[in-house]
Amino acid sequence: MSDMRCAPKRIIVTGGAGFIGSNFVHWVVDHQPDVHVTVLDALTYAGNRANLDGIPEDRMTFVHGDICDAALVDQLMVDADAIVHFAAESHNDNSIIDPAPFVRTNVEGTFTLLEAARKHGTRFHHISTDEVYGDLALDDPARFTEDSPYLPSSPYSSSKAASDMMVRAWHRTYGVDATISNCSNNYGPRQHIEKFIPRQITNILSGNRTKLYGDGLNVRDWIHTEDHSSAVWEILTRGRTGETYLIGADGERNNIDVLRAILEAMGKDADDFDWVRDRPGHDRRYAIDSTKLRRELGWQPKHTDFAQGLTDTIQWYTDHPEWWRDAKEAVEAKYAAQGQ
């Protein structure tokens, strides 16, 4: 399949001021010169208007609003060819402390968007996570595929699983033109410093000791956010309606190896970190098989050198202390209160 089945000129990106969403907006503006983007973002703690700095005013409209606001969503959908739904509460630790915002945003918010897409006939692409599949054993050679059963283990992943099921149901029952992508762990610029890689980088830049959960052997499948963005565009414009595509770049690494790579890249001893108690229900291993995406749409990741991607990411946080410095103290205080 090579020809575009959908060539949108005006797209809505929910959560477009967050980490992965803002990187997608930048990617679209850089690679699709005839596309206008409307960003809808509630600017919760994880959203940052500064993430969209540098985008020309004629290419993007920013709307500060809530995806649960049905009237606002309906109004925006009137002029849109497609919607790419990134907006989500997404941090596992936060979902364990208070699951309520995850149900509201991830379930009710997705419902609100689907109803508007149904009314206006808008192409709908839903961004999900590999965490809906639960986890794999460390010694299991298997990887997640589109046919893997849903076995979510946290309030976060269960709320994402619910939203995925709704997208499928709205496609089947109402004919909504929808696709889903489930992606592995993203890294790169503009990621909130509560997340694993930027937390370690900013700890070192701040003169703090880095910290590692549990035994450090938990495996994550890392993908650079630019590769995620290019894959989402391929699925949005060429994916088969009603289908799910897994996005991954064969980047399996355990947490202790990633932490040690960061320490060494920043001139520190590889063992210069503290062990902290593990997260409840901490998934052991995620691994993505993206064969379907590569076979059907011809997508390939470009950022396949993880060490180089990590170096570039470290450089971004080093060069942009004004972006993260104000939030650092509060983030670490919250973790300290949890013993992490």
Which residues make beta-bridge pairs with 128? Answer: 182
Q: How far is CA 264 from the centre of its chain?
A: 26
Q: Which two tokens stand for residue 309?
A: 């991607």
**Alpha-carbon distances, residue 26 vs 6, 230, 318, 334 (angstroms):** 20, 11, 20, 31
Please list the alpha-helical segments (H only) found in the chain: 19-31, 70-77, 92-97, 100-102, 109-120, 155-174, 196-205, 225-238, 255-265, 291-297, 306-319, 321-337
156 belongs to the catalytic site? yes
Q: Which two tokens stand for residue 161?
A: 């699983």
130 belongs to the catalytic site? yes
**Cβ neighbours around 338 below 10 Å, total:** 12
**Annotated catalytic residue within 41, 66, 131, 221:** 131
CA atoms in the 13 A half-sphere facing the CB of 74: 5
Q: What is the distance between the alpha carbons of residues 220 and 284, in angstroms, rounded to a whole number?
A: 8
- 60-64 and 244-247 strand pairing: unpaired
**Annotated catalytic residue within 130, 221, 227, 283:** 130
Residue 78 and residue 120 in contact, taking contact as beta carbons nearer than 8 Å: yes
**Annotated catalytic residue within 41, 89, 135, 156:** 156
Which residues make beta-bridge pairs with 64? Answer: 41
Determine the Cα angle at 242 with ends 10 and 17, to 5°: 40
Q: Which two tokens stand for residue 210?
A: 């880095």
Q: What is the distance between the alpha carbons of residues 136 and 143, in angstroms, rounded to a whole number?
A: 8
Catalytic residue list: 130-131, 156
